[in-house]
């Protein structure tokens, strides 16, 4: 029988069955039930209305109170799931280079319950390999961004100094050209550090979350944020930048060719569209080893602190890093 042809009594039977499931399962399981259900969005309002009508019609005071508690609890869990899905949607809708800015706004939501929700989403996507891979990547990157954000935020002295630099910057510019020139001066003076990057991310994050799309304040904060990211990235060790490029290459043969180029000595130069650099196999191997150890430590800490575990699925970029490490050891060391 088609769903549209169901009678009110048949709908109520579906709702009563779902209500019994929630009554019989511990509250800790409710989020999993909602995430794994493919029809919850379709039926949740009916379920809520049915619980409320049952409570109103129940003559027994104790049972009436139990049904009202069930309604409030179920409504709260559904709202929590919706909030976490909304936060995740904010990141998925933003370019990855803007994720620090999004995180600056939603860091308070990215606590252990959020990452437990992410694990539910990963498990629910078991039959969709692409979706599962995307969620694992997002989960891993958000954990890393949270760790970096919290590390910087712990040093209030550096944050306050960076905020002062940012305020001075805003008060001293009146054009795009002046902003670019001032950012270049700050980069030359070593002022664009993780603290400054976090301050600029917070400023842009606050602006981008408004309803105005092209207002001047948002444009200025966006440009300063991108410039800060660009200068900060250019300050990173060349090995890190080389490896970040190599792990984006999914074709193993092409990755091997680019690895050969990366360990071939030559001039280092920068253009508007490309950076040309090289390093030794030993240095690349050392950075890979250190990064992978840091990843394993982060995963262990996340499992205990945020309830996040990806033992069943490793992000493809991490797999690529392990392949690169093994290839460098096999071919060059």
Q: How do the domains of the chain map onto residue ranges?
A: 3-86, 156-234, 238-331
Q: Where does the pLDDT of residue 300 fall: very low under 50, low under 70, confident under 90, or very high at 90 and above?
A: confident
Lowest mean per-residue pLDDT among 37-46, 164-173, 220-229, 304-313: 304-313
Residue 299 has pLDDT above 80, yes or no: no
Residue 215 has pLDDT above 80, yes or no: no
The pLDDT value given to residue 214: 54
Q: Where does the pLDDT of residue 318 fall: very low under 50, low under 70, confident under 90, or very high at 90 and above?
A: confident
The pLDDT value given to residue 317: 83
The pLDDT value given to residue 305: 56
d(CA 160, CA 199): 9
Question: Which is more confidently placed, 228 or 215?
Answer: 228
pLDDT, one tens digit per residue, over 95-144 is 988 999 999 999 999 998 999 899 899 989 988 988 988 898 898 889 88
Residue 304 has pLDDT above 80, yes or no: no
Q: Where does the pLDDT of residue 201 fall: very low under 50, low under 70, confident under 90, or very high at 90 and above?
A: very high
0.85 exceeded by the pTM?
no
The pLDDT value given to residue 261: 92
Nearest alpha-carbon partner for 194 in 150, 164, 224: 150
Q: Are 255 and 320 in contact (CB under 8 A)?
A: yes
Contacts of 9 (CB under 8 A, 6+ apart): none
The pLDDT value given to residue 273: 61
Mean pLDDT of the chain: 87
pLDDT, one tens digit per residue, over 50-99 is 999 999 998 999 999 999 999 999 999 999 999 999 999 999 999 988 99
Residue 212 has pLDDT above 80, yes or no: no
In angstroms, the Cα distances linking 224 to 182, 186, 198 are: 10, 12, 12
The pLDDT value given to residue 118: 92
pLDDT, one tens digit per residue, over 161-178 is 999 999 999 898 888 888
pLDDT, one tens digit per residue, over 245-287 is 999 899 999 999 999 999 998 877 666 666 778 899 999 999 8
The pLDDT value given to residue 307: 55
| CB < 8 Å & 24+ apart, contacts of 224-228 | 224/166, 224/169, 224/179, 224/183, 224/200, 225/98, 225/101, 225/200, 225/201, 226/97, 227/179, 227/180, 227/183, 228/183, 228/192, 228/196, 228/197, 228/200
Residue 1 has pLDDT above 70, yes or no: no
The pLDDT value given to residue 129: 87
In angstroms, the Cα distances linking 48 to 62, 67, 71 are: 19, 11, 7
Nearest alpha-carbon partner for 20 in 74, 88, 58: 74
The pLDDT value given to residue 2: 44
The pLDDT value given to residue 312: 46
Highest mean pLDDT pick, 65-74, 225-234, 309-318? 65-74
In angstroms, the Cα distances linking 171 to 125, 177, 207, 225 are: 49, 14, 17, 16
Tokens representing 306? 């945020």
């Amino acid at each position: 029988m088609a769903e549209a042809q169901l009678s009110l009594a048949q709908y109520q039977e579906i709702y009563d069955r779902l209500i019994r499931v929630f009554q019989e399962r511990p509250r800790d399981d409710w989020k999993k039930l909602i995430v794994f259900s493919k029809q919850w969005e379709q039926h949740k309002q009916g379920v809520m209305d049915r619980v409320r009508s049952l409570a109103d019609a129940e003559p027994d005071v104790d049972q009436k109170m139990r049904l009202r508690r069930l309604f409030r609890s179920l409504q709260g869990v559904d709202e929590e799931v919706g909030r976490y899905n909304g936060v995740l949607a904010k990141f998925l809708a933003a370019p990855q280079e803007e994720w620090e800015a999004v995180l600056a706004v939603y860091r308070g939501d990215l606590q252990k319950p959020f990452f437990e929700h992410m694990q539910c989403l990963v498990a629910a996507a078991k039959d969709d390999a692409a979706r599962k891979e995307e969620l694992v990547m997002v989960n891993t990157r958000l954990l890393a961004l949270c760790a970096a954000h919290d590390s910087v935020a712990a040093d209030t002295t550096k944050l306050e100094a960076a905020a002062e630099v940012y305020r001075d910057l805003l008060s001293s510019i009146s054009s795009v050209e002046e902003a670019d020139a001032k950012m270049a001066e700050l980069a030359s003076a070593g002022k664009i550090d993780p603290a400054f990057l976090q301050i600029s991310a917070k400023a842009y994050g606050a602006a981008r979350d408004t309803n105005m799309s092209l207002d001047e304040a948002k444009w200025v904060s966006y440009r300063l944020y991108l410039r800060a990211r660009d200068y900060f990235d250019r300050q990173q060790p060349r090995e890190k930048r080389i490896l970040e490029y190599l792990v984006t290459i999914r074709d193993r043969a092409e990755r091997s060719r680019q690895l050969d180029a990366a360990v071939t000595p030559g001039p280092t130069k920068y253009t508007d569209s490309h950076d040309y650099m090289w390093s030794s196999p030993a240095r690349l191997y050392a950075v890979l080893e250190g990064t992978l150890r840091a990843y394993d430590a982060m995963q262990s800490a996340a499992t205990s602190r945020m309830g996040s575990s990806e033992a069943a699925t490793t992000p493809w970029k991490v797999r690529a890093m392990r392949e690169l490490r093994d290839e460098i050891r096999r071919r060059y060391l």
